[in-house]
Amino acid sequence: MKALLRLVIVCTLAISSFAQDAGPGLTVHGGFGYTPLVGPLSRNLDNGWNFQIGGGFMFSRHLGFVGDYQYNHLGVPQDVLNALAVPDGNAHVQSLTFGPEIRFAPSRPISPYLIGGIGWYRRTVEFTSPTLTTATIFDPFFGFFFPAIVPANVVLGSITRDGFGGNVGLGFAFGFHESRARLFVEARYHQASMERRDTQMVPFTVGIRW
């Protein structure tokens, strides 16, 4: 995680001297971060990490409409695994949302913004068991393929829930010189209505936007 954060900062600094200041037009962004769960779901799943990509159109320097795809990888606590008598497990939440973005002081070195969206959420929990499997591996030194035994996971069962939800959050964009590319840090509260238990989380994301 620390290595990826350093890469984001280095890339931002590298392109900052070539881009133009942000204005109306297309905008894109991508980032990663930490995902803490809140509400009842936090007792059944562990916190994890997230990856986010998105883009949209800024109608002015201050107002735009953006869409986001976010993937959140989560864990399953050991007490839940013990209760279900399964060796291991994992979970993930995917979302596809659309909504407004309001930027304040876009020409300043530090520009706060409000962002939100509504859309579709999917939560999947998988229970797995470790195993070994045969895979074909290429040896670049000798230049041939050969079979090898590698570790893998067998999915014993999975539970998927879909639901409609939304998010709202606050972020800060950090500019460099006259660059259009900016480092951003944001946090959003997500809630999606799902069967049996809602999904509630507050992902913190760090990334680059243009």
Flag whether pLDDT at 190 surpasses 90.
Answer: yes
More confident residue, 128 or 131: 128
Radius of gyration of the chain (CA): 21
Q: What tokens appear for 55 in the block?
A: 């883009």
pTM of the entire predicted model = 0.80
In a domain, 66, yes or no: yes
Mean pLDDT of the 150-165 span: 84
More confident residue, 175 or 56: 56
In a domain, 167, yes or no: yes
4-47 pLDDT, tens digit per residue, is 445 444 444 443 333 344 568 999 999 999 999 999 999 999 99
pLDDT, mean over the chain: 85
Indicate the helix (H) or strand (E) that contains 59: none
107-116, 156-165, 169-178: range with lowest mean pLDDT: 169-178
The total number of structural domains in the chain stands at 1
In a domain, 55, yes or no: yes
Report d(CA 124, CA 192) in Å as an integer.
13
The reported pLDDT for the residue numbered 1 is 47
Q: Report DSSP letters for the chain, one per residue.
A: -HHHHHHHHHHHHHHTTTSPPP-SEEEEEEEEEEE-B-SGGGGTSEEEEEEEEEEEEESSSSEEEEEEEEEEEEE--HHHHHHHT-SEEEEEEEEEEEEEEEESSTTSSEEEEEEEEEEEEEEEEEEEEEEEEEEEEEETTTTEEEEEEEEEEEEEEEEEEEEEEEEEEEEEEE--TT-S-EEEEEEEEEEE--SSS-EEE--EEEEEE-
Q: Are 184 and 206 in contact (CB under 8 A)?
A: yes
Position 124: which residue type? T
CATH number at residue 34: 2.40.160.20
The reported pLDDT for the residue numbered 181 is 86
| Phi then psi dihedrals of residue 7, to 5 deg | -65, -40
75-106 pLDDT, tens digit per residue, is 999 998 888 888 899 999 999 999 999 999 88
In a domain, 203, yes or no: yes
Q: Where in the sequence is the domain holding 168, given as residue range(s)?
A: 2-12+28-123+160-209
Mean pLDDT of the 133-147 span: 66
In a domain, 140, yes or no: no
In a domain, 19, yes or no: no
Q: What tokens appear for 119 in the block?
A: 């859309």
In a domain, 132, yes or no: no
In a domain, 153, yes or no: no
